[in-house]
Amino acid sequence: MTGIKILKIGGSVLTDKARLESARFEVVERIAAEIAGAGEGLILVHGAGSFGHIHAKNFGLVEMFSPEGVLQTHRSVVRLNDLVVESLTGAGSNPVPVHPLSSTILKDGRIDLMEIGPVVEMVNRGLLPVLHGDVAMDRVKGAGIVSGDQLVSHLARALKPEIVGLGTAVDGVIHNGELLAEVRRSDLSKIGSDLGPSAGVDVTGGMRGKLQELLDLADDGVSSTIFNAEKPGMIERALRGERAGTFVEGRA
């Protein structure tokens, strides 16, 4: 499908990851305004930050099935999703919430099945689907976490969007204190494990998990850009296709 753009905004941008359920309201509003100015054809995915990771960790959800953990983690991320959707509405977009728990099944932590038909119809009708990292049922483990990054790569594989942008709280992939303008799979051995930890509680792998996800996507021919969404104007630049941050190179 042509003309589609997929944007993920990380939970560490939208929330204070160290403090339970604390949204950074001004940042959410600014980002909503930037997204509203981006026009149609966009699918938005946001992370959970302190709205999901802390609950998931407290219930040990990744290791052990917990009905209460499923409910509390989902409710928490839905509260952040409500805030994002509300801000986007206020900024003049036509957002619609899409909760992965209701449309996705995992198999040992990876998406085994996801109904993306509604998302496609929404975009075709000029709506802005707003997905989020979520808890999801898992055929093997009972339940697991589907990160926003995994949702992005799944959607991008299916829809072959023209742009995939991942807005984070850092400038991109930093190695030895320097921003890498491009990363290919062959660079991974050089980069090693020096990618820096994620701030606060993170159950989905921080920058390393993100890079792994995007390199797998790149192997399937879809490039993406990791950029700093804390800097005003960067979302617009990324959605215009500028290489502002780290470009994760897809095979030609």
Q: Which residues contribute to the site for ligand IPE (CB under 6 A)?
A: 10-12, 47-49, 52-53, 56, 73, 77, 133-135, 145, 147-149, 202-204
Output 149 or 230, the one with its CB closest to ligand IPE.
149
Output 107 or 251, the one with its CB closest to ligand IPE.
107
Query: Shortest Cβ distance from residue 125 to ligand IPE (Å)?
Result: 26
Specify whether the backbone of 108 is left (phi greater than 0), alpha (psi in -120 to 50) or beta.
Answer: left
Output 71 or 191, the one with its CB closest to ligand IPE.
71
Query: Shortest Cβ distance from residue 124 to ligand IPE (Å)?
Result: 25
Query: Shortest Cβ distance from residue 251 to ligand IPE (Å)?
Result: 25
DSSP-derived pairing of the beta strands 174-175 and 178-179: antiparallel
d(CA 217, CA 33): 29
Dump the DSSP string for 51-62: GTHHHHHHTTTT
> In Å, how far are 35, 50, 96, 136, 226 from 243, measured between CA atoms?
18, 29, 29, 33, 9
Output 40 or 141, the one with its CB closest to ligand IPE.
141
> Which stretches does DSSP call E strand in the chain?
5-9, 42-46, 95-97, 104-107, 110-114, 128-132, 134-138, 142-146, 163-168, 174-175, 178-179, 182-183, 224-228, 246-248
Query: Shortest Cβ distance from residue 18 to ligand IPE (Å)?
Result: 12
Output 202 or 230, the one with its CB closest to ligand IPE.
202
Question: Among 73, 4, 85, which Cα is nearest to 46's?
Answer: 85
Query: Shortest Cβ distance from residue 52 to ligand IPE (Å)?
Result: 3
Output 12 or 225, the one with its CB closest to ligand IPE.
12
Query: Shortest Cβ distance from residue 146 to ligand IPE (Å)?
Result: 7
